[in-house]
Amino acid sequence: MYEIAKVPLDNELDLILAHKRTMKLAELAGLSLASQTTFATAVSEVARDAIAHGIGASLVLGVTAGRERQMIARIKDQRLNESGTVNEGINFAKRLVDDYEVADMERGSQITLFVRFPTNKRVSDARIEVWKEQFDDNLAISPYEEIRRKNRQLQELAERLRDSEEQYQLLTDSLPLLIFTVSSDGKLLYANNWVKEYTRATVEELNETDGQTVMHPDDLIANTREWKQALAKAVPYRTEARIKNAATGAYLWHLVSLTPLKDTNGEVLYWTGFLVDIHAQKMVEQTLKDNEELKETKQKLEKYQQELQINIGELNRSNQELAEFAYVASHDLQEPLRKIQSFSTLLVEQFANELSPTAKDLMQRMHSAAERMHGLIKDLLAYSRLNTQQQPFKPVNLNVLVKEVLNDLEVVIREKGAEIDVDPLPTIHGNALQLRQLFQNLLSNALKFTMPDRSPVVQVKIQEAVGSSIKTAIRHRENTYLAISVQDNGIGFDEKYHDRIFQLFQRLHGKGQYAGTGIGLTICKKVAEMHGGTIAAQGQPGHGAAFTIYLPESVVDRK
């Protein structure tokens, strides 16, 4: 047997992958859609029973060797067959395939389903190798595997965060400095061992006294006033003050330094500070000139502080996206969709003559609903893969890319008599697949949301924009941007919905008016942000819409 694909059968979500890959193999073999569905249904029924009652079950898809080739679906199950019972799914599946075998193995049992190739189909060994490559390269992993992989990534990220915090504490304790952090409202959050040993007080005790037990009374009033001013303005604070050594009771002059650490919006997260004897500081400054190792240690400390903030932000973002994807996977990608698609197809194909016109209409509606659900799942997986399948940026000729998208939309353009006008576009550094998704969604929307009384006119224009003039939020704002707009003369929209249309699952029109899942523009916004930019929308009901992609000019390939 030539093995083409293998699917572990751990839970119900893996049935989706098993069904999809079986359909793909049957399609490659040249079976009709009805036969494809029949074969996939048979495999799913046997696989379902193996998941429900079996141990370590798996599915292997392949093709038999020799001249009389057949497709094979082999479900292996480590469950011992001591009672002589057979996988219950085989009772249903055997009526849908050409042949089947049930065999006991040394460890468990296996069920093999056979389906013959069409009589006019000749399959060589070379063709089978091509099929194997297609399965390896093109088929997506199951939602269960995707969630499990993202969970592992989150666990690894959490471990790195814990390691960073431990290393931060280790570094601060190893330096001969009194290092501490203060909250945005002036409360002490952290103090290294040097602070605790010097003051012989805990963080809680220091917060209770507001420094009155450690700072000289003559310095306390003036420094408190200056510190509150720096706290309100979020600017670095430097001063000199006498700090009490708890071991000797002496007040020694120290340099006091506090620096605010801000997020990307300019809000203070917390303050980092240190106290050092002025004489010791002079010695440290001299030592820094001769001791490169101490310089590197200070640089590492600053690096770990920056990485900690970046990792926290990435963890929060990943948690949010994982929550959204997990919700869809656990509520929408369920068994009812597979059954609806499989059995509605069987009813339409095999029992069409026995159904009344009303029943046929109901079946068609049910099938259409299943197709819409399939489109929703497809779009959701495309959105989730934007973060999980990042590739290095390469030069992408936008002229070629947009032309390819318009070729794909040629039938719609011809049917609607649309006029498309595209300005010359540059070559940029980016991800070609993601950029294709972006322009595909924008151009197809321009051709979808049209007025019935006029032919569509779509214009793709480009110009430069000053970063400060862009009202939409951008994570790292640059001085100049490319503004690529897709403008149409369609139905437009009320600009009070400007932010809503880019949110996941948000639609401004009912399903009966215009098809769609409410994910396309969310993908567009995500792609623009992953290329360092953003996207904005303008519109007016009945007078068209314009979607403008802002990309930093630094992405342009100047070669």
Dihedrals phi, psi of 86, to nearest 5 degrees: -120, 150
Q: Are 190 and 203 in contact (CB under 8 A)?
A: yes
Whether 391-559 and 2-139 are alike in CATH topology: the answer is: yes
CA–CA separation, 533 and 223 (whole Å)? 44
Q: Are 482 and 550 in contact (CB under 8 A)?
A: yes
Domain boundaries, the chain: 2-139, 175-290, 391-559
- Give the model confidence (pLDDT) of 213-241 as tens digits: 888 888 887 788 888 888 888 888 888 88
318: helix, strand or coil: helix
Q: Tell me what the mean pLDDT of segment 137-162 comes to.
A: 62
Instruction: Specify the CATH superfamily of domain 391-559.
Output: Histidine kinase-like ATPase, C-terminal domain (3.30.565.10)
CA–CA separation, 119 and 435 (whole Å)? 43
The domain made up of 175-290 has a fold known as Beta-Lactamase (3.30.450)
Q: Which CATH number fits domain 2-139: 3.30.565.10, 3.40.50.360, 2.170.150.70, 3.90.1150.10?
A: 3.30.565.10
CA–CA separation, 218 and 241 (whole Å)? 9
Query: What integer pLDDT is reported at residue 323 of this predicted model?
Result: 47
**Of the ranges 113-127, 139-153, 283-297, 460-474, which one carries the lowest mean pLDDT score?**
139-153
Q: What is the pTM of this model?
A: 0.38
- Give the model confidence (pLDDT) of 4-30 as tens digits: 888 888 777 778 888 888 888 888 888
- Give the model confidence (pLDDT) of 381-390 as tens digits: 555 556 555 5
Angle at which helices 432-448 and 520-530 cross, to 10°: 140
Q: Is 458 exposed, middle or buried (0-12, 13-18, 19+ CB in 10 A)?
A: buried
Buried (b) or exposed (e) across 80-108, using 16+ Cβ within 10 A?
Answer: eeeeeeebebbeebbebbeebeeeeeeeb
Residues in the chain: 559
Query: What integer pLDDT is reported at residue 74 of this predicted model?
Result: 92
CA–CA separation, 72 and 60 (whole Å)? 8
Q: How far is CA 544 from CA 395, 419, 503, in A?
A: 32, 14, 20
Eight-state DSSP code of residue 185 = T
Buried (b) or exposed (e) across 315-346, using 16+ Cβ within 10 A?
Answer: eeeeeebbeebeebbeeebeeebbebbbebbe
